[in-house]
Structure 1
Amino acid sequence: MRPLSAQRSVAGKATLIIGLVLLAIQFVAIIFAPWIAPYSPETADPINALQEPSLIHFFGTDVSGMDIFSRVIFATRINLLISVTAVAIAFVIGVPLGLAIGYYKGWGSSLAMRFFDFIQSFPVFVLGMVLVSVMGQEIWNVAIVLAVLFTPVFARLIRAEVLSLRDRPFIAAARCSGATDSAIMFQHILPNALTPAIVQISISIGMAILLTAGLSFVGAGVRMPTPEWGLMVSNGAQQMILGIWWVALFPGLAIVFSVLTFALLGDAAKQLFDPQTRSSS
């Protein structure tokens, strides 16, 4: 029988492969959307409104006559653009910030932590709605709002790792050798503190997709006729009771597909970065 660590390694690699395959499908949709989509995602055709799924309209049409399949394909660009941009901004800002407040103890570090507590004391969805309403319902504004919400997550993760590393013997040896604070922080501490933040990237992208769709669902995200999954679900939700199921179903499945992708990648990253797993392999 294989040891538990070896089984974890195999499971992590299998999960990673599945996640990468699902991610590749989404990248194909992003890159080749104009060639895959048979219709314009923003052109209304009232004559063909609420057509059921068929060989002409694979996923049917919505109340405006827009082809749902084409909108789902193009919405992949919008949702992943917003989510990946937001998490990238949060990572770039949160990691150096967490490194600084973890390494330098004092009133600045305490003030930053209290500010993070203030941001995270609000329900994420409610705070997102307020910020988007203030800044405006534009794609980049939604990305900036999500970046604000996710920055404390990365900062806290890095700070926790830095606090556990700053007093280790190898850091003391670096200080004795004459290394400056910046050298210690970026050459010795940061490389050893990045693993939790790297794992968190995939998880945060999945959360950002859900938040983006949720904000659009309640009318606080992107606006029509921009193709966006949450907005499409919102437009079709009221018609479900009338038996018009396809308008909300297919964009809803797209959300599930995309979030599942990044959940699998995050789970694979956790298993592959597990020290016990790496030592056994």
Structure 2
Amino acid sequence: MRTWLMRPGAAFGAALLLLQVIAIVFAGLLAPYSPTTADPLHTLMPPSASHLLGTDVYGMDILSRIIYATRINLLVSITAVAGAFAIGVPLGLIIGFYSGIPSAIVMRLFDFIQSFPVFVLGMALVSVLGQEIWNVALVLAILFVPVFARLVRAEVLSLRQRPFISAARCSGATDRSIMFRHILPNAMTPALVQLSISVGMAILLTAGLSFIGAGVRMPTPEWGLMVSSGAQQLILGVWWVSLFPGIAIVLAVLCFALLGDELRILLDPRRRHR
């Protein structure tokens, strides 16, 4: 693990993740102002000593909102992906191990979910459930369940025909024992790698839904919502309102993309020395 963390990609990704964890845990200490208190006397102020990243159209401090938005964006994304992982992995194991009509129905349901454009389906679900933070997490979890289930199912279809599975059957192992003791541990690598990548994708989707008005609502500090509110002032030369939250999104997604790629190398010995 120490050698893995010395790799440039892993080290940079871990450093970015550490910064985000610090922002989540110590947001109240790091933020110089309240993230939701408007100040009409200091609207659209450029970066200065009093407001390091400037203020938005409501006079709210952008740095404070970015710090608090880290908590919302990451917790929503991680919760959604963790829920999708917890549902998708066992589901993929079952439909991969047992073929038949029920498995075919589940796969067609996945096809139905994934046939919709992500933002269209996300907007539809949020409009039904309501624009609340945890409803956004629920929507993201629904979108990611097919991803994990398909990955695990593909691995199970390959593993269940292997000689060691036949040997386990001959020794009297039950289907449950074969599934959870022999197949699942060997089918987890793609799902674990996808776990990190999906968090980055969930951050983008959370920000994207808020940007188009289908995510959280003002004055909740959220990166996509901040970019959206600042986009209207770009034509006036007010660049800081959108730029800094956009950079925060880029760094957060880059963090999990790097960690996902490095995790793939860590879990695949054939690629460690490439």
TM-score range, shorter chain: over 0.9
Give the counterpart letter for 1:179 in structure 2: A
Which residue is 1:27 aligned to? 21
Q: Contact 2:31–2:67 at 8 Å: present in 1 too? A: yes
Which residue is 1:277 aligned to? 271
Which residue is 2:39 aligned to? 45
Q: CA deviation at 1:161?
A: 0.1
- Structure 1 distance, partners of 2:208, 2:139, is 13
- Structure 1 distance, partners of 2:173, 2:53, is 61
Give the counterpart letter for 2:227 in structure 1: V
Out of 82, 87, 90, the residue aligned to residue 88 of structure 1 is 82
Q: Which moved more, 1:263-272 or 1:96-105?
A: 263-272
- Structure 2 distance, partners of 1:272, 1:12, is 12
Shift in CA distance, 44/260, structure 1 to aligned 2, threshold 3 Å: same
Q: Contact 1:13–1:272 at 8 Å: present in 2 too? A: no
Which residue is 1:4 aligned to? none
Q: CA deviation at 1:275?
A: 3.5
- Structure 1 distance, partners of 2:142, 2:225, is 22
Give the counterpart letter for 1:247 in structure 2: V
Give the counterpart letter for 1:168 in structure 2: R
Out of 142, 146, 158, the residue aligned to residue 140 of structure 2 is 146
Out of 57, 63, 73, the residue aligned to residue 63 of structure 1 is 57
Which residue is 2:155 aligned to? 161
Which residue is 1:264 aligned to? 258
Q: % of aligned pairs identical?
A: 71
Q: Which moved more, 1:268-277 or 1:257-266?
A: 268-277
1:224-274 alpha-carbon deviations (Å, 9 max, x no partner): 000000000000001011011111111010000100000101111122222
Greater relative CO (CA pairs within 8 A, separation 6+): 1
- Structure 1 distance, partners of 2:6, 2:212, is 37
Q: CA deviation at 1:10?
A: 7.0
Q: CA deviation at 1:188?
A: 0.2
- Structure 1 distance, partners of 2:6, 2:173, is 38
- Structure 1 distance, partners of 2:17, 2:197, is 14
Which residue is 1:186 aligned to? 180
Q: CA deviation at 1:277?
A: 3.1
- Structure 1 distance, partners of 2:253, 2:6, is 18
Q: Contact 2:5–2:11 at 8 Å: present in 1 too? A: no
1:25-77 alpha-carbon deviations (Å, 9 max, x no partner): 11011111100000000000001111110110011000110000000000000
Structure 1: give runs of 5+ residues left out of the alignment: 1-8
Structure 2: give runs of 5+ residues left out of the alignment: none
1:135-161 alpha-carbon deviations (Å, 9 max, x no partner): 100000000000000000000000000
- Structure 1 distance, partners of 2:68, 2:49, is 19
Give the counterpart letter for 2:37 in structure 1: T
Asked whether 1:113 is paired with 2:125, we answer: no
Which residue is 1:224 aligned to? 218
1:86-112 alpha-carbon deviations (Å, 9 max, x no partner): 000000000000000000011011010
Look up the SS of the partner of 1:269 in the other structure: helix
Asked whether 1:79 is paired with 2:80, we answer: no
Q: CA deviation at 1:11?
A: 9.9
Q: CA deviation at 1:12?
A: 8.7
Asked whether 1:252 is paired with 2:232, we answer: no
Asked whether 1:97 is paired with 2:84, we answer: no
Query: What TM-score do the two structures reach when normalised by structure 2?
Result: 0.97
Which residue is 2:170 aligned to? 176
- Structure 2 distance, partners of 1:138, 1:95, is 27
